Structure 1
Amino acid sequence: MGTAQRRLAPEDGTAARPTLRQQQPQYRPLWVEEPAKRYRMPDPVRTSAVRAVIIIAVTLTLAMVAFFCTMAESWLAFPMVISSVASTVVATWSAVDVLVTRQVWNQRNGVVSEPSSTARTLRRERRAARRQERAAAREQERIRRRGGQAGQLTHP
């Protein structure tokens, strides 16, 4: 008998079996995974959104430094105010860039949830054109197999 089994055996000679609760401690999960309610943003849109957030954060930092320099009557106040105004223009541009990038992506790749999607209409039109081309090719093949006589008008 090994030392581990000797330790578990009670003194009355009956074999001790550890219960499931003794073998494994009970762990409670800290959180429960739930499926995402919204889909992930497309890569170009996410890239422009990250860029916009970084630019806006730098703009807010510049504005705060400009405010503190103005309160302290530092010589750096004027250049900081000018740079924060310019940075505000860039931050506005980057926020608009996110909206434009999102709209362009939706129009090019389609939106699953919207039935009036531009991309879906374009795909429908392309499918209809391909169907017509295939039908015309089949008709030409049928005419060619019949010797070229069927479906052709004769001249008087």
Structure 2
Amino acid sequence: MSMGTAERRGAPEDGGAARVTARSAPEAPEREIPAAVAGRPARERPDRPEEREARERPSGYRPLWREEPARRRRLPDPVRTAAVRAVMVVAVTLILAMVAFLSTMAESWLAFPMVIASVAGTVVATWGVLDVWVTRQVWNQRHGVVSMPSSTARAMRRERRRARRQARSAERGQGRIARRGGGAGRLSHS
């Protein structure tokens, strides 16, 4: 008799618990181990989180899923906030529309207020979706270099580079002045 990944073998005759054996998951190959660490014995290697978790788990434990790196980068915070807000508004609007439809079918007094509310919800939901789009465009314009000559981000980066260059040249100038004027109290080197 199979029970998922574990199997029961033999019925206990003395009333004790049945022995449970589990198939072990295939070990994941070690990835990206630095050469300095790879040559050391296992007890000297620094613990990776996966190895520590594996030691703390009971034997026969098999995880339900394996963590994988994300394929796409996470949305910027303002864009994600606008998207969550838009999804919630759209969900509430859909609920209002469904209640309006069912109330109309049942010929309830609630039908008219629900129709008005769902129309208002549609306007707000449209605003929410447009807000996501505008927020995304603004974020890209300010933080990501869009391949357009009018990109604000490119101009801002150019200004920052210029300011850093000027600061470095000013430091170098101060260093030269300090090295030349080696004698205390000397104003000029004539």
- When normalised by structure 2's length, the TM-score is 0.52
| Change in 2 beyond 3 A, CA 1:29/1:130 | closer
Matched, 1:120 2:154: yes
Number of residues paired by the alignment? 123
Bigger Rg, structure 1 or 2 = 1
Corresponding position of 2:106? 72
**Aligned sequence identity (%):** 72
Corresponding position of 2:71? 37
**Equivalents in 2 of 1:76, 1:53: separation in Å?**
25
**Equivalents in 2 of 1:92, 1:68: separation in Å?**
23
The runs of 5 or more residues in structure 2 that have no matched partner are: 1-57, 178-187
Corresponding position of 1:55? 89
The runs of 5 or more residues in structure 1 that have no matched partner are: 1-23, 148-156
**Equivalents in 2 of 1:134, 1:35: separation in Å?**
39
**Equivalents in 1 of 2:112, 2:169: separation in Å?**
73
Deviation at 1:129, TM superposition (A): 6.7
**Equivalents in 1 of 2:168, 2:62: separation in Å?**
61
Deviation at 1:132, TM superposition (A): 7.0
Q: Between the two structures, name the one with larger relative contact order (CA 8 Å, sep ≥ 6).
A: 1
Deviation at 1:76, TM superposition (A): 1.6
Which structure: greater strand fraction? 2
Comparing 41-50 and 26-35, the one that deviates more: 26-35
Listed as ranges, the matches of 1:94-109 within 5 Å are 94-109=128-143
Deviation at 1:118, TM superposition (A): 3.9
**1:106-140 residue CA offsets vs partner (Å, 9 max, x unmatched):** 111225xx55554134312552476479879x7xx
